[in-house]
Amino acid sequence: MSRTIRTFEATITNQRQVRDDLDQLGWAASKLWNVGRYYAQEQWDETGEIPDDGELKAELKGHERYTDLHSQSSQRVLEELAEAFNGWFGKRRNGDDRARPPGYRKNGDSHPRSTVSFKVAGFKHDEQFNRVRLSKGRNLKEHRSDFILCEYQTRPDVDLTEWDIQQVRAIYKHDEWRLQFICRTVIDPESPGEEVAGVDLGICNFAAVSFGGESVLYPGGALKEDEYYFTKKKAKCDDSSSREATRLDRNRTGRRTHFLHTLSKAIVEECVKRGVGTLVVGDLGGIREDGENGEPRNWGDHGNLDLHGWAFDRFTTLLDYKAEAEGIDVELVSERDTSNSCSACGQTDDKQRVERGLYVCEKCDTVANADVNGAENIRQKVLPSLATDGGDRDNGWLAQPAVHLFDRSEGCFAPREQVVNREP
């Protein structure tokens, strides 16, 4: 058995009713942070040491800013301050002379809205009606209710009743409040089987998956269309920080997140159906850097725009935890030579990729979809004995992968012939 922790974000559907109360808490959290920061500076000046979170809590628990929030919420603010100081000390110890200690939370003459955390005693979850009650501090209860009742909505595939909610956070972003549920559960899934699949991530096809004998392409066209659409719409805004620009950013982020969640779920479902117990993913950690000098690569105007909006790391994280829930191990491997090696015979020649999307091996005459060939090479990173002289295996599947497209009308991936896409 293993314990897993996940964070699920939700929209607040009664935003107008709770916004003022949440604003008060957010401002109070910033003020408490500043009080703690001032006290820490005093101690630093007098003793040369920064107080830990225990000393901060003991010293400030009687302060009026501390009692603006629920006691556990105030404790979490001071814990975060201590953690920020520890991070700064760590950087300085490692020789980073440019590292700066945590600053005060100011936005001109006002305070920004800080994240407010509610531990178990500070919230009550109503799973039947998708509501959560957040406690206020003593100072903010006068003449008003003792709590804030937030109605929320999560993604359709999230069921919070399956999780033990450890903490709720109210966060302010994109000009609105949102909720984050930090949840825990114990899982002991049985592996679907002993098969191995390989995943190659890229530009045109966001993912190519090789199951060894079968392959599936997942084009990223819908994601690219969104990027171009929202970039063009935002360019028409007079102010990049305007309400309309903020709304466009929020919609783009939401659609991108939905695409990545849906794709990772679709791949895991295909793995379960085929008895895959190990999923091998090509590591794209250096895709934005040039291999020789560390400078950003220039992929052309369209390529740079595509990469800017594509969260490969985010996708790998989503794929990892969805696979974990099904008992599938995920391994990250280097993509070195996977694009210019023949997955059938092992011949390596960077000239064999004759055009975009097509790979032809001059040694064994294998013809393959280039992305599928890369995915099969990635799969063979953990099964190196599979590469042969090319004569003992039927390699037709390398050239004829199934194609699953993102269906906007249904919000899911489906075989190409079943999908009717709509304009963004």
Distance CA 323, CA 279 (A): 8
**Amino acid symbol at 19:** R
Residue 181 pLDDT = 97
Which residues neighbour 372 within 8 Å (Cβ) at sequence distance 6 or greater? 200, 208, 210, 215, 217, 397, 398, 399, 401
Q: Which tens digits make up the pLDDT trace of 322-377?
A: 998 899 999 999 888 788 888 888 888 766 556 668 888 888 888 899 999 999 99
CB 402 within 8 A of CB 218: no
The boundaries of every CATH 3.30.420.140 domain in the chain are: 195-415
Residue 331 pLDDT = 93
Q: Which tens digits make up the pLDDT trace of 84-138?
A: 998 888 888 888 888 889 999 987 777 899 999 999 999 999 999 999 999 999 8
First CA to last CA across the chain, in angstroms? Answer: 43
Residue 209 pLDDT = 97
CB 32 within 8 A of CB 69: yes
Q: Which residue has the tokens 């280039």?
A: 370
Q: Give 289's strand partners.
A: 296
Residue 307 pLDDT = 47
Residue 354 pLDDT = 60
Q: What is 45-59 written as a DSSP string?
A: HHHS----HHHHHHH
Residue 293 pLDDT = 45
Distance CA 333, CA 337 (A): 12
Q: Which two tokens stand for residue 59?
A: 């010293």
Which residues neighbour 232 within 8 Å (Cβ) at sequence distance 6 or greater? none
Q: Which residues of the chain fall below pLDDT 70?
A: 1-2, 142-144, 240-241, 284-311, 350-356, 384-394, 420-424
Secondary structure class of 146 (helix, strand, coil): coil
Distance CA 74, CA 289 (A): 42
Residue 266 pLDDT = 95
Residue 91 pLDDT = 85
Q: Is the pTM of this model over 0.75?
A: no
Architecture of the CATH domain 195-415 = 2-Layer Sandwich (3.30)
The conformation of residue 383, written as its DSSP 8-state character, comes to -
Among 310, 372, 311, 317, smallest CA distance to 339 is for: 372
Q: Which two tokens stand for residue 374?
A: 């890369």
Quickly count: other Cβ atoms within 10 Å of residue 145's Cβ: 11
Alpha helices in 349-406 (DSSP H): 370-379, 396-399
Residue 124 pLDDT = 96
Q: Which two tokens stand for residue 360?
A: 């032809």
